[in-house]
Amino acid sequence: MPELPDVEGFRRVAKQAAHRQVREVRVHDAQVLRGVGSEAFQRTLRRRYLAEPRRHGKWLLIGTAGAANAPASPPVVLLHFGMTGNLQWCPHDAELHDHDRVVFDFAAGELRYRDMRKLTGIHLAREQDEVDDLLAGLGPDAQQIEAAEFGERLTRTRRRLKPALMDQSVIAGLGNICVDEILWRARIHPNRSTADLTDDDLDRLYREMRAMLREAVRVGRVPDGPSWLTGHRDEPDRRCPRCSTALRRTRIGGRSTLWCPTCQPD
């Protein structure tokens, strides 16, 4: 499932369309459009220029500007990638993929929204209030949150740590893989109660979150190299890359969870 680092990668893809005029929009599967029909979506965006994309949590926002007879309040395209979505920048002659659902056509190429399972999709907000409503339930972005607010939001209720970190209303952008990686780096068991976290725990969690995201954002995904926990998730004999202890897997908060019993004692 795309998480914050992946969506940062998609943001870099979308930057290739920034300041370019949309010649046309081709909707190959209207099921990925949310709250707007194909014709209205195409009509609204045709001949508009796309602005620099920005990200909040797992959402990508692309503003627009400049078109004949354009509304005073420029529409904003909001993309969510669900379990299998992504963005691709392709030349015009690239073969259409089976899962290319919406194609934005520019003189220099095409920006394609590709999604196999179509669990979420693309929204078109015509007013800023609509943008605010769509993002209203999100907490601060995990890359932007300050340490004090991180600790306050994480410990305001008594709950298990992993579900708290994955709760988008607490902190936006972290998913299953990111959270397992952060907790392993911080040497904290995923089943710990947030009420039991010490100031040292919170400081370590925050520092490791920032460091992990910084490295992952650089490559547009959570790396799966040998020094990362993520690199050992699918091995038949999963071993901790730090101490070589056999890794354990269970479900916490309904999600498959990987941890090291030596580095992350209960």
pLDDT in tens, 7-46: 999 999 999 999 999 999 999 999 999 999 999 999 999 9
**What single letter denotes the amino acid at residue 88?**
Q
Domain annotation covers residue 8: yes
Domain annotation covers residue 94: yes
**Range(s) of the domain holding residue 19:** 4-135
pLDDT at 198 over 70: yes
CATH number at residue 154: 1.10.8.50
Active-site pick, 46, 47, 238, 255: 255
255 is catalytic: yes
11-to-56, 148, 182, 212, 227 alpha-carbon distances in Å:
11, 28, 23, 19, 26
| 102 and 204 in a common domain | no
How much is the average pLDDT of 85-101?
98
| 165 and 65 in a common domain | no
Q: Domain count for the chain, please give it.
A: 2
| 194 and 244 in a common domain | yes
| 154 and 101 in a common domain | no
pLDDT at 70 over 90: no
> 116 with 81: CB under 8 angstroms?
no
How much is the average pLDDT of 153-170?
96
| 112 and 188 in a common domain | no
Domain annotation covers residue 95: yes
| 125 and 103 in a common domain | yes
> How high is the pLDDT of residue 36?
97
| 14 and 96 in a common domain | yes
176-to-3, 152, 257 alpha-carbon distances in Å:
8, 22, 8
| 164 and 121 in a common domain | no
Domain annotation covers residue 168: yes
pLDDT at 67 over 60: no
58 is catalytic: yes
| 239 and 216 in a common domain | yes
Domain annotation covers residue 263: no
In this structure, are strands 24-27 and 100-106 parallel, antiparallel, or unpaired? Answer: antiparallel
> How high is the pLDDT of residue 8?
98
Tokens standing for residue 34: 């949310």
Tokens standing for residue 49: 């220029």
pLDDT, tens digit, 9 for 90 and up, residues 120-159: 999 999 999 999 999 999 999 999 999 999 999 999 989 9
| 191 and 242 in a common domain | yes
pTM of the model: 0.94
Domain annotation covers residue 264: no
Domain annotation covers residue 26: yes
Boundary (domain end) residue, out of 75, 107, 135:
135
CATH number at residue 82: 3.20.190.10
How much is the average pLDDT of 70-91?
91
| 106 and 19 in a common domain | yes
| 131 and 20 in a common domain | yes
pLDDT at 72 over 90: no
Boundary (domain end) residue, out of 135, 169, 196:
135
Active-site pick, 2, 53, 75, 163: 2
Active-site pick, 48, 58, 153, 162: 58
CA distance 40 to 30: 11
